[in-house]
Chain A
């Protein structure tokens, strides 16, 4: 018997988290006398910020290491998953890791009675708005909390790792048992709080597993691209046809590469108040992915299909509240916001402010600087205790 776990994570920001969870499963399972190993979907590894990636762990109570490796190790992707972990819930909208791969459903690999385990602050109903239906019954569980996002060389030690391990033990004790998780964490870290976090997450997850019936869930409209045979493309066909030059004014006016849109890379999207825009061009100019389409009224529409949520536009926009990054899961459409604004400016402003909300903390994970809004008001950063100057003297 083989138990398969996949960890869907955001490239760079959760690189270490994904790898650590995979490695932890191997070490815990082997403490339990099982054979296990872990690897990543290697094509994901030249990671870029936010790209959806996968890490795997395979556990067997009865196979030899060689057989387990033969079944699971020589493959690029997992056949099916007993547990698909998602460490950033915005990936439930679909994942497109690289070109010619298509946008894939987050539960594509979840097997019958298997579990999709999502780190999320959203309700199961909310998540199911985005997750496509399957022809069989499966389970949805969550670890309550925000996505743990860090940098390339950084691992954010916020107990997400321990809590995910506890939750995996809850949804499928055949992979790892909670007692083994606790023993492992205690031995590895000698920190009982880590074991307690895993146990608390285990208990909370057990209380809240949603059985999703066959056919329950969202419509899915992304097709998996068919790759041509060796006779079907041009001899020496490493030359990919260029995207035609030029653009038209207006929404979706720029020509783009359809083989790789990258929109599933974002965990936040820029919400734009067109009425506040001073037409300074900075968002359009600085966007690394050229997501802003100039419109004939001097504004800049944003194309959410290709926006990767890098926060750059929100950082360079000189007008407070004009471009604000908002949790991607609050949206279920990639339609043009400029068209919405054009049709109904007041309605759009109300809608945009609702999405932004009155309470938010905005810390772009690239720069680490940001701002806090409480009850709709900007909260200036508190001076550090002792002050920076005192620290410098010491």
Chain B
């Protein structure tokens, strides 16, 4: 998040909210029409907070508790198809259970927003953060971004709907946030005024595709080999367009709420003159940036890239920033077992993005924080040191290091 510039007329007083409650505030401000809910930690508190807002009379929305994630996601999809602004969410294996519905929401080109409170994939039972649940969407025609603070989570509900519902995009949006460290941490947050939100977020219009008695249409008929490739190509094209539309939306957000986001796709922290950077998603930003600051005090030219958008992947922008570096260390809070070089998921895309460059930085990978294990400032210092060593030729560039593993 960029520095907070105050535009007092667009913010209410600061209030105490945790990450889940922040998302609920965003849903309320987005004036969502239909919410479908089914509990699983850490997402559960989002639905709790929404039901409380509705029960307290602060928010009017259709709230449906489903019998499973699969039904929940189907309800969200169908609500979206009748032109309702719809919201859902889940975590971990619950998210995976509803996956069939998630996939067809994208191929039906409907734009609801889902929050993913990142959680490890059971078995064995684990509640803590791991990014595999949300990352499973990466090839499915979804918009996918990570919030690194609760404030960002609130704002990205609004930003997310605006992008997803843009008639040039019409893709479902997944807003991921680290379970526990983000979802269940209480902070003083700024809540935007409804008036300012209304200026930023127009009402949802599905246009000619809306399912309505006055507009009889058939959605998702059997099409087989005659149509599928063309539909995929349309979807592909929408994701391509999103790369140019996303910056427009952030510009509009900054215009109304103050210059909060310098770069929509990722934040650069002390990257300008850096030789080595770490790249990560989500809440690890806090310890990573503090580690960078400490190493800067020792004269080390290091920085941090907080990757916000994963789909569409900002390869051109990352190429420009990371291409200047001697070394790049990728923090993978996920596993990609059996993948090239036995690394994580994020490193594969970063490596691919950098490959066309004539002069490429050395890329190292770190797997850590799985199942909710903490990643401390000291862990981040260690990752920076390993990346510095790799950049200086002391390690091979196929290095994958597990951080915080009991060895």
Task: Report A's interface with B, CB cutoff 8 A.
Answer: 19, 22-23, 26-27, 30, 36-40, 42-43, 45-46, 65-67, 69-71, 73-76, 227-231, 238
Contacts and interface: CB of A to CB of B under 8 A. Distances in A.
B4 to A, nearest CB: 10
19 contacts: A30-B14, A39-B180, A42-B184, A45-B41, A45-B127, A46-B41, A65-B187, A66-B286, A70-B286, A71-B377, A74-B181, A74-B283, A74-B286, A74-B374, A76-B372, A228-B406, A229-B406, A230-B405, A230-B407
B128 interface: yes
Given A26-B16, A73-B181, 12 more contacts: A37-B185, A39-B18, A39-B186, A43-B128, A66-B286, A66-B290, A70-B287, A70-B290, A71-B290, A73-B185, A76-B374, A231-B407
Of B187, B287, B377, most buried by chain A (CB within 10 Å of CB) is: B187
A211 to B, nearest CB: 33
B176 to A, nearest CB: 17
Contact of A30 (B188, B289, B290, B377): B188
B284 interface: yes
A248 B296 CA distance: 65
Given A39-B186, A43-B128, A73 B16 contact: no
Interface string B360-382: 00000000000011111100000
Interface in B280-327: 283-284, 286-287, 289-291
Interface in B230-247: none
B123 interface: yes
Q: Please list the 9 inter-chain residue pairs (A to B) with the smallest Cβ-Cβ separation, ordered nearest first.
A: A42-B180, A70-B290, A39-B185, A70-B286, A238-B124, A69-B286, A38-B186, A229-B406, A70-B287
Interface of B: 14, 16, 18, 41-42, 123-124, 127-128, 179-181, 184-188, 283-284, 286-287, 289-291, 372-377, 405-407
Residue among A43, A66, A238 with max Cβ neighbours from chain B (10 Å): A66
B186 A37 contact: yes
A27 B290 contact: no
B380 to A, nearest CB: 9
Contacts of B287: 70, 74
Contacts of A230: 405-407
B187 A37 contact: yes
Most chain A CB inside 10 Å of its own CB: which residue of B181, B188, B376, B407: B188
Contacts of A227: 406
A42 B286 contact: no
Contact of B376 (A36, A42, A75, A228): A75
Contacts, number: 84
Contacts of B18: 39
Given A30-B14, A229-B406, A22 B377 contact: no
Nearest to A229: B406
A42 B372 contact: yes
Nearest to B405: A230
A148 B283 CA distance: 34
Contacts of A46: 41, 127
B55 to A, nearest CB: 12
A70 B289 CA distance: 8
A45 B289 CA distance: 28
Contacts of B375: 74
Between A36, A65, A74, the greatest number of chain B beta carbons within 10 A of the residue's beta carbon is seen for A74
A136 B23 CA distance: 44
Contacts of A42: 42, 127-128, 179-181, 184, 372
Contact of B184 (A36, A40, A65, A66): A40
Nearest to A41: B180
A43 B406 contact: no
Contacts of B373: 76
Given A30-B188, A37-B185, A227-B406, A75 B127 contact: no
A146 B374 CA distance: 36
Contacts of A76: 372-374
A147 B41 CA distance: 28
Nearest to B293: A67
Nearest to B379: A74
B74 to A, nearest CB: 27
Contacts of B179: 42
Given A66-B289, A70-B377, A74-B287, A43 B127 contact: yes
A122 to B, nearest CB: 31
B44 to A, nearest CB: 10
A39 B123 CA distance: 26
Given A46-B127, A230-B405, A74 B188 contact: no
Nearest to B124: A238
A115 B91 CA distance: 38
B92 to A, nearest CB: 13
B306 to A, nearest CB: 11
B184 A45 contact: yes
Contacts of B284: 74
A25 to B, nearest CB: 10
A296 B286 CA distance: 61
A280 B375 CA distance: 54
Contacts of A22: 186
Given A42-B128, A45-B127, A70-B290, A26 B187 contact: yes
Contacts of B181: 39, 42, 73-74
Most chain A CB within 10 A, of B123, B179, B186, B407, is at: B186
Contacts of B42: 42
Nearest to B183: A42
A22 B291 CA distance: 27
A22 B16 CA distance: 11
A229 B372 contact: no
Contacts of B184: 39-40, 42, 45
Contacts of A45: 41, 127, 184
Contacts of B407: 229-231
Contacts of B290: 66-67, 70-71
A363 B139 CA distance: 56
A376 B398 CA distance: 77
Nearest to A27: B16
Contacts of A43: 127-128, 372
Contacts of B406: 227-230
Contacts of A37: 185-188
Contacts of B41: 45-46
A30 B186 CA distance: 12
Contacts of B187: 26, 37, 65
A45 B187 CA distance: 18
